Amino acid sequence: MSEEIEVEEKSKKGGLYILIITALLILSGFLWWKLSTKNKEINLINAQNTELTAERDILSEMMYEQGVEAGEDLRENLQNMLDDYETMENLNTDLNDSILEQKQKIVDILAELEKEKKNKKYYAGKVYKLEKETETLRAIMKDYVRTIDSLNTENLVLKTDLTNTRKDLSTVIQDRDVLQSQTEDLTKQVNEGSKLSALSIVSEGIRERSSGSYKPTERANRTTHVRACFKIGSNKIASVGNKTIHMRVIAQDGSVLYSSNSNTFKTEDGKNLVFSDKKTINYQKDVVDVCIFYKLAKEITKGDYTTELWCEGVLIGKNSFALK
């Protein structure tokens, strides 16, 4: 009984194994079929990809060639714009900062265009993008041109007005200079005419006697004083009042005879001169007789002497005498 059961169980297991193997064979066949189908699809897709890649490469090459051509045109346009900006920079210095900024943008675009030229895949797209930026720069440049034209028109009007103003000013200045010159001439004539003059000058050596009187002498060793007598002429345009006459006695070696270092006066041109003696008169535009005495500080030597007479810093006359 147990043997029959074992035989029956073995028979059942054998049938199950056959069923499993059959199922595995069917499954394997199905999987092989699916794999074969997928391989065909993959091969087909690869073939299509190869064709598309070839077409893409051809298209990219065509676009790159077009991009290169467009890039050269763009480069030329940018260079022309750069030249135009430099011209505008010379025409109007007020916009220099803005123009320099736009010029730098053009230089940057040129550099980027040159940098991307080796990138065949994206060069055409980059050129298109840079063309859009260039259009913006061109629009800005047109605004600058309009602004400069407007400013140049205004400057032309201002220059015309300035030229006319300068002509008028030049005429006014010429008239002023003529009037000033005439005024200066008249002033000079008045000043010259208002100066006093010493006339009929007689200068000589004199000796003081014990009685206190004076006697002219030509002997140097007897001379105690130098005297100059003269007339101050009448002058109707000279100012009235006290006038100080300075006398300078000058030896033939050019030295001035004087008694004190403080005996100085200032000339009309600002020089300080030493004087021998002086006298103050009250001048009322009429002739005045004047004598000035200089008492020698030491014995005088033989020779020729010159007597100068000065008033208000102006030389009004001179005379010479000799001592033996």
The residue-averaged pLDDT of 263-273 equals 93
pLDDT at 96: 66
> Where are the chain's structural domains?
2-117, 198-323
Q: 95-99, 165-169, 191-195, 266-270: which range is least confident on average?
A: 191-195
Give Cα separations from 210 to 192, 213, 267, 298 (angstroms): 44, 7, 38, 18
pLDDT at 32: 80
Most confident residue range from 55-69, 105-119, 184-198, 254-268: 254-268
Of 112 and 260, the one with more pLDDT: 260
* Model confidence band, residue 163 (pLDDT cutoffs 50, 70, 90): confident
* Model confidence band, residue 228 (pLDDT cutoffs 50, 70, 90): very high
Q: What percent of the chain has pLDDT over 90?
A: 32
**Residue 2 pLDDT more than 70?**
no
* Model confidence band, residue 241 (pLDDT cutoffs 50, 70, 90): very high
**Residue 248 pLDDT more than 90?**
yes
* Model confidence band, residue 144 (pLDDT cutoffs 50, 70, 90): low
Q: 27-41, 227-241, 258-272: which range is least confident on average?
A: 27-41
CATH architecture of 198-323: Sandwich (2.60)
pLDDT at 287: 94
* Model confidence band, residue 146 (pLDDT cutoffs 50, 70, 90): confident
Q: What tens digit of pLDDT does each residue of 173-211 get?
A: 776 766 566 545 444 544 545 788 999 999 999 998 888
